[in-house]
Amino acid sequence: MDINNVELMEKVRKFTLASVKPSRYEHCERVAQTAMILCELFDIHPWKGYFSGLAHDMCRDLDDQTLLSLAAHDNRPISEIEKQKPLLLHGRAAAVKLFRDFGVDDTDILQAVARHTLGCEKMRPLAKIIFIADKIEPGRPQSNQKYREPFYTMSLDQMCLTVLDENIAYQKSKNKPVVAQTLAFRESLIRDIQKASNGGAQ
């Protein structure tokens, strides 16, 4: 796909505007802008960050059956908790829609959109950026400039782990379960951070 395809961007924007409530679309725009900043920081094409951020919640307001139906086309199993809470599938559903209906075949973008909710092991840098941007965009209650500043001194994995730990703590405070996939993501981040601190040694 053409990484600078303005027409594609506008098609996705139009779909998102029509499919989610206004406050959700505004969140998508803020995630897109935050992702651009992070992409520039970590030497990733900013357009990829903006596009992924704009698209990440494009299916967030679809009904449960539609989410289940879309996610079933990505050739990965749907877990019991995802069956019980189909909203968890909105990223996977969006990635399927991007591939199937919009012709998006960039694997970095598709993973970033699909995995932004729960995370996973072996996430690529763009996926980590969208995971982070979704949590720290300036519309989030805690996300003022003082809150965000320390993140820009961290490595990408450290940034991701910090955001993830905050999210896990919040889930626990609400007596919500933390799924195994998210815990595996956390362990993989810790391993990678330790490996980096040892100069890349195994």
Q: Which CATH number characterizes residue 102's domain?
A: 1.10.3210.10
Q: Which amino acid is at 156?
A: L
pLDDT at 144: 85
Where is pLDDT greater, at 24 or 152? 24
- C-alpha 5 chain-centroid distance: 21
Does residue 117 form part of some domain?
Answer: yes
Per-residue confidence at 13, pLDDT binned at 50, 70, 90?
very high
Does residue 185 form part of some domain?
Answer: no
Does residue 88 form part of some domain?
Answer: yes
Total domains in the chain come to 1
pLDDT at 1: 62
Q: Which residues contact 49 (CB under 8 A, 6 or more apart)?
A: 32, 35, 36, 38, 39, 126, 129, 130, 133
Residues 112, 124 contacting (CB under 8 angstroms):
yes
Does residue 53 form part of some domain?
Answer: yes
Q: Which residues contact 148 (CB under 8 A, 6 or more apart)?
A: 136, 138
Does residue 82 form part of some domain?
Answer: yes
The CA–CA distances, whole Å, from 154 to 92, 157, 161 equal 28, 8, 10
For 117-172, how does the pLDDT look when each residue is reduced to its tens digit (9 = 90+)? 999 999 999 999 999 999 999 999 888 888 898 999 999 999 999 999 999 999 99
CA 107, 108, 112: angle at the middle one, nearest 5?
A: 115
Does residue 83 form part of some domain?
Answer: yes
Q: Which residues contact 191 (CB under 8 A, 6 or more apart)?
A: none
Does residue 181 form part of some domain?
Answer: no
Residue span of the structural domain in which 124 resides: 6-151
CA distance 67 to 88: 9
For 46-99, how does the pLDDT look when each residue is reduced to its tens digit (9 = 90+)? 999 999 999 999 999 999 999 999 999 999 999 999 999 999 999 999 999 999
The pTM of this model reads 0.94
Neighbours of 128 (CB within 10 A): 25
Does residue 161 form part of some domain?
Answer: no
